[in-house]
Structure 1
């Protein structure tokens, strides 16, 4: 590279790992396919937590949620936590985030203030005068809504007004907007006002500025789709014929061997009240026969097919705007000097195992990620790797790629040599945490080359899946008599993994 390498991180939100056209013929993603051809795809990438705030905080801290402290939705990443952007700024980089942050909750308290909370969220004068610093980003342009949520505001709302969209509230739910909440699948917002357009336009503008000023950058383009509600502008809402798609479904009896909360999701009116420890909502702990988002109504057979078609349409539309960012990188002559990583914060259920959206169900559908790395002349092109990756590895690897020191408190693993194709693997396992309530919903999953084990705080039930013999994760081996030796071995390996990921904030410098 002729200059300091740039880092361009592109993420989606809640995207199933098997939604890239290069590997799945039922979906079209020409620009992600281009990244696949020009880079290395890692088939075994995992999130450190299957919800937004914890996983996103891990991306910028290089630490697990149990370490950085933003342990679930409705918490915040405390401002005293060290972030990778601070390291890049110290090294002379420009740092920016455009799109979704979700490092803070929608409510603010005197002890735990949040600028991503009401009413600040929609105080447009505040956002007109605030672009950072924010968690190591010297420039941010933020929004908080998925599709038509009432959380719309911040820099996205300002942009809508600048574009002449005076009636932008018509496209969002009450009380912020006036959109009919019964409308689903087809979002009436014109594509030119969609947040994909905003993210691509603003990302490209920042890259133009950095190129003009000859400044290296760490830039995160953070898309909101395909997170539900299932809404996308025309023509993307009808791009896919629901009757021509493979629609995942429950395998009868598959939850018979699973912990009780799995089977309860298939009841019409399950009672999860004993698990609501904090009194706030618990994602996924509900009947999965109904919508989780929007109006509560039962999923019909049509809905089960149509939501997949629209989910794919949301991904294809997002792919178009990812392409605009990649094209701009080429036009600016920056592609050769830029490490591009595409991934998501966690996966998604759209019928697999009878589940919808997300929750305390650590199937591959939810914790495994699409993950592509491109850097021309350095990262091997058109290659697929089975080397295990974790989002917690991004921060240390970005620093290593730019020949910058990695703070010792980061517990992610440096994957640089693996990304460069010089080393087969850097980690033998991944850990995924889900602590959604202090004690009642607290689980961790250890996954290695072949097996996966999930343990629950203060519970004797759990899960073991053989990903080689049972890739669909239908047969839970936890209580099967012939697998108790394997269970003991995996529990020991999990204990070792927990010990191995403890932070060492400084090296030992003397004998006493």
Structure 2
């Protein structure tokens, strides 16, 4: 019987598709770049949702947020939902997690034999008034008891109980400087704990699954002050082509995002508001520095796997839950928008094959397919109510089926992206979004009403309707044994 591979799922939070060195030379990620050379590099990978809780719920269950009952940022996964980690455990895998999960109030079985879940970005016992708690990665209505983790205990034992002992405000746009030793920085701590698990707790005679999930580079953008910031010159970082004025052609709720960054003055594109060039560059510097620190920690994990003789036998997935505007349209953060900056993500798949020659793959894929991928790699059945497509086909089959579109959602928004065009449908509204991504990859020009694309818009609307019907429960159930086929 062929040995079942170990499986390592490496995740970050809020990392854009282009915030990796192998896609963008402005970003320093030498370890991920090396991993990419031995991986299937998916250039058209998408999240199911632009927000943490629903995006992660879809990953863990293999079901879209609207299917698994967690369609918004404040809807916890229902207790009866089954995670793919619990299926791996039932199938003989030792399952473990280090880092962010964002299950939030989920009362079901997460599926881990060993867990060190760290959802915090800061010491929560006492937050300095100088620091805005709402920016540090958790809903504001959680109690202190909800936030207890080994990271919090580590900080408290080290004398850190206030945010201003670690951070100082760099800008009122959510940018902070970290000034303590990096071992007290949350992503440094998570990386170190991942190494500790691999050294001390990793089973020797049982296949294992490990989620190593970094809370960064999620806002607050706090990488200024890390040693990795020295690799960047802020004044040289590229600025986006778009501006806040481009939001005027989009659905009206896009203007809400400017409340934090300065309102658009309607009718006057000369005064669009939004982040200044200096603020965008400072934000990128903080964001990229955190990514580079995470890359160092990932590199140390990969080297340890090689030292232990496990690297060639381990399936490694790297991705993020969603992206961030990061200066596009003069704003940052993520919310109920199906913009490319938010739903397009980095995605690497390193097969459990020695000497695998990496390659670039343009097929559209979704993070909801991680569950089927891990179960298939483990030789286990994929439940009928999960998404069935496994990305293992891209290294096991000489001619894998390639997909020419991808679906995503956000509460009552539904989106479909094809090879050229992208549609976002707003339920119950007369407006929507439609983009020609070949001519306008930055989504600056909304063509929803443009006469020249109405035929393509109708085609994508039809495809979107087909997709939404296919996601319903029991849609393939037999009507009656004698009923004629439709």
TM-score interval, normalised by the smaller of the two chains: 0.7 to 0.9
Q: Distance in 2 between matches of 1:185 and 1:179?
A: 6
Q: Post-superposition shift, 1:187? A: 0.6
Tell me the residue number matched to 1:193. 184
User: How large is the RMSD of aligned CA atoms in angstroms?
Assistant: 2.9
* Partner deviation per Cα, 1:305-325 (whole Å, 9 max, x = no partner): 111111111100110001111
Aligned residues of 1:39 and 1:379 also touching (Cα < 8 A):
no
2:150 to 155, 158, 164: 155
Instruction: Tell me the SS of whatever aligns to 1:224.
Output: coil
Q: CA deviation at 1:364?
A: 1.3
* 1:401 pairs with 2:392: no
Report what 1:228 is aligned to: 219
Give 3-state SS (helix, strand or coil) of 2:56's partner.
helix
Counterparts of 2:282 and 2:166, CA distance in 1: 25
Within 1, Cα distance between the matches of 2:253 and 2:59? 29
Aligned residue number for residue 78 of structure 1:
78
Match of 2:269 in 1: none
What's the CA shift for 1:380?
4.9
Taking structure 1 as reference, are residues 455 and 89 closer, same or farther at Cα in structure 2, changes over 3 Å only? same
* CA distance in structure 1 between the aligned counterparts of 2:196 and 2:474, rounded to whole angstroms: 39
Superposed displacement of residue 336, structure 1: 1.4
Secondary structure, aligned partner of 1:76 = coil
Q: How does 1:288-437 map to 2 (within 5 A)?
A: 299-377=275-353, 380-420=356-396, 422-435=398-411
In structure 2, distance between residues paired with 1:486 and 1:426: 21
**Aligned CA distance change for structure 1 residues 264 and 211 (closer, same or farther; 3 Å):** closer
The correspondence of residues 261-276 of structure 1 with structure 2, limited to 5 A, is 261-263=253-255, 265-266=257-258, 268-269=262-263
1:433/1:379 CA distance change after superposition, 3 Å: farther
Match in the other structure for 2:249: 257
Q: What is the match of residue 134 of structure 2?
A: none
Q: Which residue of 2 aligns with 1:135?
A: 110
Residues 289, 61 of structure 1: alpha-carbon distance in 2 compared, 3 angstrom cutoff: farther
Alignment of 1:434-445 (within 5 A): 434-435=410-411, 442-445=412-415
Structure 1 CA distance, aligned partners of 2:123 and 2:242?
29
| Secondary structure in structure 2 of the residue aligned to 1:321 | helix
**1:471 Cα deviation after fit:** 1.6
2:323 counterpart SS class: coil
Worse-matched range after superposition: 407-416 or 375-384? 375-384
- Counterpart contact for 2:188–2:297, Cα < 8 Å: yes
Separation in structure 2 between the aligned mates of residue 506 and residue 415 of structure 1, nearest angstrom: 24
> Counterpart of 1:357 in 2: which secondary structure?
coil
Q: Aligned partners of 2:480 and 2:189: how far apart in 1?
A: 53
Secondary structure in structure 2 of the residue aligned to 1:44 = strand
Specify the alignment match of 1:145 in structure 2.
120
The residue number in structure 1 matching 2:436 is 466
Indicate conservation of the 8 Å contact 1:47/1:367, yes or no. Answer: yes
- 1:415–1:426: 8 Å Cα contact kept in structure 2? no
Name the stretch that deviates more: 147-156 or 35-44: 147-156
Cα 1:423–1:148 change in 2 (3 A) is: farther
Q: Distance in 2 between matches of 1:226 and 1:39?
A: 23
Q: CA deviation at 1:9?
A: 0.2
Partner in structure 2 of residue 247 of structure 1: 239
Give how far 1:265 is off. 4.1
1:336-378 deviation per Cα after TM superposition (whole angstroms, max 9, x unaligned): 1110000000011111122311123322111100000102537
- Aligned to 1:342, what secondary structure does the other structure show? strand
CA contact (8 A) 1:242 1:305 kept: yes
User: 3-state SS of the aligned residue for 2:298?
Assistant: helix
| Structure 2 CA distance for aligned equivalents of residues 37 and 338 of structure 1 | 16
Tell me the number of residue pairs that the alignment of Structure 1 and Structure 2 aligns: 451
Instruction: Identify unmatched segments of 5+ residues in structure 1.
Output: 106-113, 116-132, 272-287, 291-298, 436-441
Preserved CA contact (<8 Å) 1:101 1:144: yes
Does the C-alpha gap of structure 1 residues 426 and 250 become closer, same or farther in structure 2, counting only changes over 3 Å? Answer: closer
